[in-house]
């Protein structure tokens, strides 16, 4: 079970030298959702409205549905799949790349198109700053005031962040953001540390 993934920290753009007169412009963006990815595609389409083709591909989170791509009117398989391979080859998630083509008057063939679209996509991704995201899940714990010390010591043993903490006459409720692979172990350790008095509640 993966705990982390790499994604783009910010948008990036790159344009390689022309290929037989055609311009290929790559634009890469971080995208949290499919809707956000497609919104970036439309933004590029509007900005580069004089171009006929805007091939694209996106890949969301490690647990998300399969990635998507589009040849946008170019020969089948010549555009979207090569762009997607550049994203996947770098192990990136939550990323979308749009490559705009301005036709230069000479046909490139499927192989030539695939190489040119991949080159522009790869350069845009290489130009982007990357960041690593840790996948965390919520864990909600309830315990009496007398169990505060053993409960809080769990924070030193596990990679957990305090998201919320509330108090009532019955004790404390603590909401943690825990590294996904450690969530079950933390819950078991909490029950043991409080001798079964503490409660693991629904997030």
Residue of 98 and 2 predicted with greater confidence: 98
Q: How far apart are CA 54 and CA 39, in angstroms?
A: 13
Query: pLDDT for 50-76, tens place per residue?
Result: 999 999 999 998 888 899 999 999 999
Query: pLDDT for 118-176, tens place per residue?
Result: 999 999 999 999 999 999 999 999 999 999 999 999 888 998 999 999 999 989 999 99
Quick one: what percent of the chain has pLDDT higher than 90?
90
Q: How far apart are CA 35 and CA 14, in angstroms?
A: 24
Structural domains counted in the chain = 2
CATH at residue 102: 3.30.230.30
CATH at residue 172: 3.30.70.240
- Per the structure, the complete domain to which residue 194 belongs is given by 136-201
Q: Is the pTM of this model over 0.95?
A: no
Structure tokens at 98: 């749009």
pLDDT exceeds cutoff 60 at 28 = yes
Check whether residue 112 and residue 46 sit in a common domain: yes
Per-residue pLDDT at 1: 57
In terms of DSSP H, where are the helices of the chain? 34-47, 80-89, 109-127, 148-157, 183-193
Per-residue pLDDT at 74: 95
Quick one: what percent of the chain has pLDDT higher than 70?
100
């Amino acid at each position: 079970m993966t705990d982390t993934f790499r994604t783009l920290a910010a948008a990036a753009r790159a344009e390689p030298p022309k290929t037989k007169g055609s311009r290929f412009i790559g634009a890469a963006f971080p995208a949290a959702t499919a809707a956000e990815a497609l919104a970036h595609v439309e933004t590029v389409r509007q900005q580069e409205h004089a171009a006929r083709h805007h091939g694209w591909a996106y890949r969301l989170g490690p647990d998300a549905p399969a990635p998507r791509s589009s040849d946008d009117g170019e020969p089948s398989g010549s555009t979207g799949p090569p762009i997607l391979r550049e994203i996947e080859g770098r192990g990136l998630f939550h990323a979308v790349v749009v490559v705009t083509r301005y036709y230069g008057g000479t046909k490139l063939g499927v192989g030539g198109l695939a190489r040119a679209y991949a080159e522009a996509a790869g350069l845009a991704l290489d130009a982007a700053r990357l960041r690593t995201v840790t996948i965390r899940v919520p864990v909600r714990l309830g315990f009496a005031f007398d169990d505060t010390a053993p409960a809080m010591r769990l924070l030193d043993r596990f990679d957990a962040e305090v998201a919320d903490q509330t108090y009532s006459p019955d004790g404390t409720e603590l909401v943690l953001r825990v590294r996904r692979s450690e969530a079950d172990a933390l819950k078991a350790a909490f029950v043991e540390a409080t001798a079964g008095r503490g409660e693991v509640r629904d997030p």
